């Protein structure tokens, strides 16, 4: 098995399970941007899983667009939470506000930052696979 491919798959699994834990166990209601991040992350679990079992290193063609868009959505979401003037430019107008922070570990680690890290790890792994 390609190590980078396996790493990306494990990262996607952990991200999916983490988001399900926050919503189903901790009862945190996802905001609009959280849903967009889920829409981008959850399919990666299955796409990367199939690629691992088929030893398909060409999967980066399908994964990179999702992971890169996910990085942008996550960093935008994180900036809404942490940069005061960005709260005025947010897309969440009804329901749970995107500026809300269910967790704030060490004063800077929020759910969108965790998603950004996961999308970044997956993107790095796909770039590594692409170069091989």
pLDDT of 47 higher than 70: yes
**Whole-number pLDDT of residue 101:** 94
Closest CA to 63 of 88, 46, 76, 79: 46
Beta bridge partners, 109, equal: 105
Task: State which fold the 3-131 domain adopts.
Answer: Bromodomain-like (1.20.1550)
Distance, CA of 89 to CA of 26 (rounded, Å): 28
CA gap 116, 29 in Å, rounded: 19
pLDDT 10s digits, 15-33: 999 999 999 999 999 999 9
Average pLDDT on 43-61 reads: 97
Q: Please, which pLDDT band fits residue 1 given cuts at 50, 70 and 90?
A: low
pLDDT digits (tens, 9 = 90+) for 83-122: 988 877 777 777 888 999 999 999 999 999 999 999 999 9
């Amino acid at each position: 098995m390609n190590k980078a491919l396996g790493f990306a798959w494990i990262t996607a699994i952990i991200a999916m399970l983490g988001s399900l834990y926050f919503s189903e166990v901790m009862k945190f209601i996802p905001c609009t941007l959280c849903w967009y991040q889920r829409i981008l992350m959850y399919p990666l679990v299955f796409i990367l899983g199939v690629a691992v079992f088929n030893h398909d290193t060409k999967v980066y063609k399908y994964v990179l667009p999702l992971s890169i868009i996910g990085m942008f959505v996550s960093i935008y979401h994180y900036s809404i939470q942490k940069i005061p003037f960005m709260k005025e430019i947010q897309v969440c107008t009804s329901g749970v506000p995107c500026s809300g922070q269910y967790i704030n570990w060490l004063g800077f680690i929020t759910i969108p930052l965790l998603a950004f890290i996961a999308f970044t790890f997956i993107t790095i792994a796909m770039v590594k696979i692409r170069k091989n």
